[in-house]
Structure 1
Amino acid sequence: MRRNVIETVLGAVVLVMAGFFLFFAYTSSSVRAVGGYKLEARFSSTGGLSAGSDVRISGVKVGTVTSQFLDKQTFQAVVQMEIDRTIQLPRDTSAVIASESLLGGRYLQLDPGGEEEKLKEGDLIEYTQSAVNLEELLGRFMFNSGGSSSNAGSGGNAATPPAAANQGAQAPAPGGLLGGK
């Protein structure tokens, strides 16, 4: 019987300590909701940005992406966010979807402008830049650089006759040498 009481008290102490650590972690981190004013931005592609993603200025979290949806008229992605009320953004602020690292998640980077007029509740951030598609860029690099490496030692385009290459003439039309101009 005495052993059960000790185990119960020890279990209660462990639970109280776990609760204390959870409370400490929650209050010392920026996980909680910001609770500010709402803004919108329109992008041609959000590239992995999702509700709950950070909104940052100079790397500091100032808000949260609350939702995103497709505008059925323009087929653009509309991103809604909440910004801390203490941060008053100029009207010419720009929004960029950035990546934390090569394999990391996305966040919304705000770059404040210099205009005197401030954005208000429900306003639209007009200057936006969509997410960069890393796979597409890598594919372009691989396929564009692959063709030029095989002709590096030939002195010009492979379809250009050597005499024309030495005179600086342009490559023939896609029809080939005999295909005409």
Structure 2
Amino acid sequence: MQNPILSLDQTHQKIKRIAFEIYERNLEETNVVLAGIVGEGYTMAGLLTNYLREISPLNITLMKIDLNKEQPHTSPVHFDIDKEALNGKVIIVVDDVLNTGRTLAYSLSPFLGVSVKRVQVAVMVNRAHHSFPISADYVGYALSTTLNEHIRVKLSEPEAGVYLS
């Protein structure tokens, strides 16, 4: 059984607030890269891109980080843009849920070989069961859960929202 935590409107309100925070913390920048992790992380990055374009003059590049979330240590991480385009830029890695930090930790590894200006992390839900030293700079909703509970973020209609099961 799924219990709704955030409705579609509440979810979009949280993402819009994150967009304002990103703009506020990067006022001095002209270029920002939103790097969404494949799945709902990439969908959220797309929504953030749209909101940021509405509220700021920032030049936003949307990119996809593709990795096997179930076994990130055994598969390579792929970007859909050339790594050289990231040099000197602020990168904001976006995912739907920060649980243990494993997916985010592995998704960050390719950025170590690039001379980026700064890397930040944005998530819709922070569950606080961190096993890796990963923290989010931007959080839509912080939620303490048991290890047996599951959070599902769905960003496309008709069932868009955040759910606990």
Fold agreement, TM-score > 0.5:
no
Larger Rg belongs to: 1
Which protein has greater RCO, CA pairs closer than 8 Å, 6+ apart?
Answer: 2
Structure with greater proportional strand content: 2
User: What's the TM-score once normalised by structure 1's chain length?
Assistant: 0.23
User: What's the TM-score once normalised by structure 2's chain length?
Assistant: 0.24
